[in-house]
Structure 1
Amino acid sequence: MNCLEYRRQLGADPRRETPEMQEHRRGCAGCAAHQARSLGVELALKRSLQVPVPEGLAERILLAQATGERGVRTRRRRRWGWLAAAAVLVAAFGIGMRQLQLFAPLARQLVVHLQHEPEALMTHAPLPVAEIERPFAQRGVTLAAAPPAGVSYAQPCPVGMMGSVHMVMPEPEGPVTVFFLPTHQERRGDYVDQGMHVRAVPMAAGTLALVAADSSRFDALEAGWRNSLEGSPATAAGSP
């Protein structure tokens, strides 16, 4: 099971895990943190819907029925209607926030994803090439050339409803997070979201995205990853 499959199943019911999900979570710090956040949201929603029943409500209802206080009953129904509407609004707000994260612009989704996986920035030792190629293979992508040097983190991760390869490159100017989304086509663009620079580049039938506080290395990294994903111009043209 990969991270995308785990989070899809967790989204259906955060309180239930299959043995396969439990095994994946124990070995994946990112998904363990995601499960903890999901359970927190479910608990907050549950608490918001637990509206206490006022003391003596039953006696007051019986009294209203016995004395024919129709006006009192009308006002009571209106008051409880507002409480029910408020509870529904709280639940809808929680669901709406989830949907906003799923369908927000790509730059926002990437920055939010980084906030959910801070542990990815804590590793600095370069990974072997095979460890970088593995998540690409899990996404059905074969690199055309060796990946750029210095990748310290590489995992298949979901970004909203899209599958991605999530990587980190600890550059001298600060870490650059690299995403490759093999099934998503995004227009080229540079953005700033919550103080983070984001560059999206159509590449190899997908989209390469770079995210960092300092964008000075974006041009060089874009060129390096284009060579890795598409090969040199001669290779792309089919030359030996």
Structure 2
Amino acid sequence: MNCEDFRTIVGAEPNTTNPEVLAHLERCPECARYREEMQAMDRLIYRALAVEAPTGSNADELLTRKSGTPSRVWRMAASVLVAVLVGAMSLWLLTPRDSFAREAIAHIRHEQASLVRTSDTVDPARLDQIMTSAQVRLKPGAARVSYAQYCNFRGQRIPHLVVQTEQGPVTVLVVTHAPTQEREQIEEDGFQGVIVPAPRGVIVVLGQNVPVDPVVWTVLDALEY
């Protein structure tokens, strides 16, 4: 099970005991946090829906004068409360403590030795093997790839590439099982780059004082899904 499948299932049923979901939890801390957040939102919604209308003739009389149907007013109030809670939780989930960008940078720092200028390139057969493991392909000769590895990132194995440019090396992470998102600019911890949507998932392109846009367009044009 990949992260996207996990979040689809947990988003619908935060307390699921699906064995594949529980197995994925053991190896993916980010998805474990997502499940905790979804369970917290589920509890908040349940408490909101459990709100009971006050009893007593005075309360009923006041509400009846205003609307004619006391229960309808309290149903509307509960609905508004649920909407507010869902909106607040959505904002919380969209700003996680460990951002996608920060995780990508931390991953790249673990393979810092790959970020060197070199005229060497990866053997085409090896590059093709790594790309096809993620069910993608890079058109032959499209980019000067000096480094290519399988890497574990966010609970899945992804191609981790380094592309050589005239200005220096640029890292590319091809994350096929990531939620779709809009283009996100990154400038953090000495790295500059972008997360861009792809036909499946996203690609993360990062450099250090190196323009990355030419690599973004080259890779997007050369990737075959």
1:79-90 residue pairs with structure 2 within 5 A? 80-90=71-81
1:230 maps onto 2:215 in alignment: no
Give 1 or 2: higher helix fraction. 1
Contact 2:184 2:195 in 1 (8 A): yes
Tell me the SS of whatever aligns to 1:33: helix
Find the aligned partners of 2:150 and 2:110 in 1 and give their Cα distance: 5
1:97-130 per-position Cα deviation (integer Å, ceiling 9, x unaligned): 788899xxxxxx7x76953796665554229999
Structure 2 CA distance, aligned partners of 1:35 and 1:22? 10
Greater CA deviation, 72-81 or 197-206?
Answer: 197-206
Aligned partners of 2:210, 2:36: CA distance in 1, in Å? Answer: 33
The residue identity in structure 2 corresponding to 1:155 is F
The aligned residue for residue 135 of structure 2 is: 140
| Corresponding position of 2:99 | 115
Matches of 2:151 and 2:18, distance apart in 1 = 27
- Distance in 2 (alpha carbons) for counterparts of 1:154 and 1:90: 41
Would you say 1:155 and 2:139 are equivalent positions? no
* Bigger Cα displacement from structure 2, 202-211 vs 36-45: 202-211
Q: Which amino acid aligns with 1:36?
A: E
Pair 1:71–1:113, CA change in 2 (3 A): closer
- Tell me how far apart the structure 2 counterparts of residues 185 and 142 of structure 1 sit (CA, whole Å): 20
Q: Residues of 2 paired with 1:99 and 1:153: CA distance?
A: 30
**1:15–1:117 distance in 2 versus 1, CA, 3 Å:** farther
TM-score normalized by the length of structure 2: 0.53
Give aligned-pair identity as a percent: 19
Matched with 1:19 is 19
What CA deviation, in whole Å up to 9, does each residue of 1:162-200 have, x standing for no partner? xx969799xxxxxx996646699999x78589xx97646
2:209 to 187, 209, 217: 217
Cα distance between partner residues in 1 of 2:70 and 2:198? 57
Task: Give the number of equivalent residue pairs.
Answer: 196
Classify 1:46/1:185 alpha carbon distance in 2 versus 1 (closer, same or farther; 3 Å). closer
Determine helix, strand or coil for the equivalent of 1:219. Answer: coil
Residues of 2 paired with 1:199 and 1:117: CA distance? 9
Q: Which residue of 2 aligns with 1:238?
A: none
Once the two structures are superposed, residues 176-235 of structure 1 have per-residue CA deviations (whole angstroms, 9 ceiling, x without a partner) of: 996646699999x78589xx9764668899864447xxx86351585399469839xxxx
Could you say if the C-alpha distance between residues 38 and 151 of structure 1 is closer, same or farther in structure 2, counting changes exceeding 3 Å?
farther
TM-score, structure 1 normalization:
0.51
* Mapped pair 1:125 → 2:110: yes
* Number of the residue aligned with 1:6: 6
User: Is 1:92 equivalent to 2:92 in the alignment?
Assistant: no
Alpha-carbon distance in 1 for matches of 2:195, 2:205: 7
After superposition, give the CA deviation of every residue in 1:126-173 in whole Å (9 maximum; x if it has no partner). Answer: 29999xx86x54642134578665989653679xxxxx969799xxxx
- Please tell me the root mean square deviation across aligned C-alpha atoms, in Å: 5.7
How far has the Cα of 1:6 moved from its partner?
0.8
Change (3 A) 1:113 1:15: same
1:32 aligns with 2:16: no
